[in-house]
Amino acid sequence: MEALLNPAVIVQHLHTTRFGWTLYFFPALDSTNEYAKKLALQGIEEGTLILTDFQTQGKGRRGRSFFSPHGGLYLSLILCPSLSPKAILPLTLLAGVAVAQSIQRCTGLSVRLRWPNDLFLAQKKVGGILIEMLVRETEKVVCIVGIGVNINTPLSSFPAALRSQITSLAHVLRRSVSRELLVCHLLSELEIYYHRFLQEGLSPFVEIWKTLAFQIGTMVRLSVGGEVVEGILQGLDAEGRLVIKQGKQLRTIVSGEYL
């Protein structure tokens, strides 16, 4: 089995200003996002990182579970931006860009982003992002950025029914990847992008996201409020909504599910 994550290696290689310097590591947790929420209610500082080797109740978007066996990367980062919940939502897209770029730097692999929160590699899901928010007594919004990536996870660790839909970095690379160094790269990218986002909003990231998008320029199918919507994937608008082309018309999608 994959060796446990070593937080000391993370501390040794961390080059961020704040992100990750307060670090909670657990060999196992129900969900790093759930733990982060408990901490956040106690008034924890921005940039606090919760990391685990294994989740028993990893959570995905829309109440789904996120299967989290040993070998993966499961983390939650606590942020306290002075923004409304609606303005915080594009952080999912930003986090996706940071994950894809840090994986590219560490491994050379091209992870692609599927709106709004999926990470794809070699046409299969390799991870996802789950942003949750809560409002503290001070009325300040606390944002939990949850990131899960299948790094050194053998596909045999996943239930048989999932195996045809998912992959891991090690499965594609045929070698293992240092999760500690990847965390350090990721936190550095995320910290820079987060501050840029606070100052400039999403616009600097719209084009970058597009270069990393899964199935850009191809026909996609989504379920949007019960309706099946098809179109050629164009990219994002300035607010982070998905833009597809139907005939000569552009259509913007606020919330939907890929089919």
* Binder of ligand BTN out of 61, 70, 210, 241 (CB under 6 A): 61
Closer to ligand BTN by CB, 32 or 157: give it. Answer: 32
Query: By CB under 6 A, is residue 58 in contact with ligand BTN?
Result: yes
Return the range that interacts with ligand BTN (CB under 6 A); candidates 17-25, 73-81, 230-238, 240-248: 73-81
- Residue 249 CA, chain-centre distance (Å), reads 31
Q: Is 115 in the site for ligand BTN (CB under 6 A)?
A: no
The DSSP-derived string for 60-87 is -GGG-B--B-TTSEEEEEEE--SS-HHH
Contact between 48 and ligand BTN per CB under 6 A: no
What burial class does residue 199 get, using C-beta atoms within 10 Å of its C-beta: 0-12 exposed, 13-18 middle, 19+ buried? exposed
Report if residue 59 touches ligand BTN, rule: CB under 6 A: yes
List 40, 94, 130, 182, residue binding ligand BTN (CB under 6 A): 130
Shortest Å, Cβ 248 to ligand BTN: 33
Peptide bond between residue 116 and the one before it cis (omega within 30 degrees of 0): yes
| d(C-alpha 176, C-alpha 168), whole Å | 10
Q: Is 146 in the site for ligand BTN (CB under 6 A)?
A: yes
Interaxial angle between packed helices 203-212 and 91-107, expressed in degrees from 0 to 180 and rounded to the nearest 10: 50
Beta bridge partners of 231: 220
Contact positions toward ligand BTN, by CB under 6 A? 31-33, 55, 58-61, 64, 66, 74-76, 117-118, 128-130, 146-148
